[in-house]
Structure 1
Amino acid sequence: MKEPEKTMNHNDPILITGCSSGIGEATALRLVRAGHTVYATARKSSTLTALAQAGAITRDLDVTDEESMRAVVDEIVTEHCRIGALVNNAGYGAYGAVEDTPMHAVRKQFDTNVFGMARMIQLALPSMRLAGRGRIVNISSMGGRLTFPFGGYYHASKHAVEAMSDALRFEVKPFGVSVSIVEPGLITTRFGGTAATTLSTSTPDGSPYRAATAALDKSMAKSYENRLMTAGPDAVAKAIEHAVSARRPRTRYVITPAARSLITIRALTPGRAWDRVVHGVFGM
């Protein structure tokens, strides 16, 4: 099998989704400063003013809208003949009990976290294959390797990202394309607030899960305040930079020592013992 190209040319354009804040914004800024040609995208490019001023090319791109995805990919391929790297960062966490969460919210989560990512890959791959090189970086989560209560649908979406990425890696290797998965732990972005908000709003006042979700809200807030368990978005951006530019990019990048510990514990712990660990962590 042909090996992926050992290094990426700085002129090879990098397309990043979900750049309005957090990991996407930090990644775009880091790569621009390293001299890469970066297309930073978000549903509304008006939120990307700082990145445009830093030198990124900013565009509207909604991963749930076929026309906007295709328009940006076609523009890049027309201008540069190929996409050098695709960073699938767009995504969010909607939390709630499996029983309580409305199916329209579940579908919206999968449309963004899974189907949007899949379609971006389908659109970007042809130019990579023709060029004989390319990098695909999919942002998953430690939640793609383990599962916590009241995050069933979010975890399911990230487990899907893991499975799709592992299959894709084998499929595209003969064409010189590498696939990496980035698995952040607790990162100090808007994500934690979004998760808590959706957990509260998706739990009806009369729900039998109301007390448990209230306890989880408090536990999540404390976790995001614990500097020993968290990292800033630039820690993830640094890993993504390695994935798109290193001679031999890794298959997986786990971000934060706490995430590495939890993933290892889950892998080594039998099911019932893991349940006791989760009980202890969340006080449930």
Structure 2
Amino acid sequence: MAKTVLVTGASSGIGKATAIYLAQNGYQVYGAARRLNRLQELNTFGIIPISLDVTKEESIEACVASIGSVDILINSAGLGSYGALEDVPIPEAKNQMEINLFGVARLIQLVLPQMRKNRYGKIVNISSVGGKMGLPMGSWYHASKFALEGMSDCLRNEVRQFGIDVIVIEPGGTQSEMMAIGAENMQRVSKKSVYSNLATGIQKMYANMEKNAAAPIVVARLIKKGIEAKHPKTRYIGGTMAKPMLFMRKLLSDKLFDKMIMSQIK
């Protein structure tokens, strides 16, 4: 019997590519997103569109209840909102944490009882190389991804006894709406502040990264590899510059890594 997969953030980017790729490979896929109208094209792949706003408890509960038993949960919904820490309003920061962390946690809470009953489950959390390293102007995005990494590590050792695997995906540069939206937010928040020059430099760096960003299917293939492995790795890394960046972060001291990063911001 085909495994049932819930993919959040399925209206674009990694979530959309993953939903389509898994449906093409025999999975029963539910594609969830806040913008239901953008999910309709997924019908042609046999994907069942479902409404989900990960910041609203009633929406999360209704989503999981409408599916019933979820074998594989892929938490791909995310927000990248940027700006200097001094400039970002706390309500915006809280919204980022709601989407990237608390919404993920609540979905996991709701699917775990049935996974435990079935003695089977795969929970895939889409983190980022930004969950292991921080860039200026991205305090709250990186905070959310660092937190997601830590939560995943704790969860993995809680649920392995029930036959449930927790897998973290750490993409590097990947084609998505998030980078452009994040750059727009950064300019809105910090363009007229004392951090304006830094914001402009970061935006240029992101624009260069976007030109060489990997297609989302690269990450979708990593996810499939992880959920089909008998003994999956705890982390899978892919996308433009992901492995080199994480290698350098591990190799260099904090101050040397800072120098390397800031040398790219002009």
TM norm structure 1: 0.91
1:62 to 53, 56, 71: 53
Q: Match for 2:8: what amino acid? A: T
| Percent of aligned positions that are identical | 39
Secondary structure, aligned partner of 1:110: helix
Greater RCO, 1 or 2 (C-alpha within 8 Å, sep 6+)? 1
Secondary structure, aligned partner of 1:231: coil
Q: Match for 2:13: what amino acid? A: G
* 1:62-95 CA distance string (max 9 Å, x none): 1111111111211222xxxx21000001001001
- Shift of the 257–48 alpha-carbon distance from structure 1 to 2, 3 Å rule, reads closer
CA contact (8 A) 2:219 2:239 kept: no
Specify the alignment match of 1:218 in structure 2: 204
For residues 236 and 164 of structure 1, the distance between their equivalents in structure 2, rounded to whole angstroms, comes to 21
Secondary structure, aligned partner of 1:192: helix
Runs of 4+ in 1 over 4 A off after TM superposition: none
Q: Match for 1:282: what amino acid? A: I
Specify the alignment match of 1:26 in structure 2: 17
* 1:121-174 CA distance string (max 9 Å, x none): 000100000100100000000000111111111000000000000000000000
Secondary structure, aligned partner of 2:130: helix
Secondary structure, aligned partner of 1:156: helix
Q: CA deviation at 1:246?
A: 2.2
For residues 273 and 204 of structure 1, the distance between their equivalents in structure 2, rounded to whole angstroms, comes to 28
Specify the alignment match of 1:144 in structure 2: 131
For residues 205 and 66 of structure 2, the distance between their equivalents in structure 1, rounded to whole angstroms, comes to 45
Q: CA deviation at 1:44?
A: 2.5
* 1:245-271 CA distance string (max 9 Å, x none): 222222101113511111111111111
Secondary structure, aligned partner of 2:236: strand
Secondary structure, aligned partner of 2:190: coil
Secondary structure, aligned partner of 1:202: helix
Q: Unmatched 5+ residue regions in structure 1? A: 1-9
1:132 to 119, 127, 130: 119
CA contact (8 A) 2:173 2:240 kept: no
Is structure 2 residue 94 aligned with structure 1 residue 111?
no
For residues 269 and 191 of structure 1, the distance between their equivalents in structure 2, rounded to whole angstroms, comes to 28
Specify the alignment match of 1:234 in structure 2: 217
Q: Match for 2:197: what amino acid? A: A
Matched length: 266
Specify the alignment match of 1:5 in structure 2: none
1:279 to 230, 246, 262: 262
For residues 27 and 156 of structure 2, the distance between their equivalents in structure 1, rounded to whole angstroms, comes to 24
For residues 54 and 171 of structure 1, the distance between their equivalents in structure 2, rounded to whole angstroms, comes to 35
Specify the alignment match of 1:201 in structure 2: 188
For residues 66 and 202 of structure 2, the distance between their equivalents in structure 1, rounded to whole angstroms, comes to 44
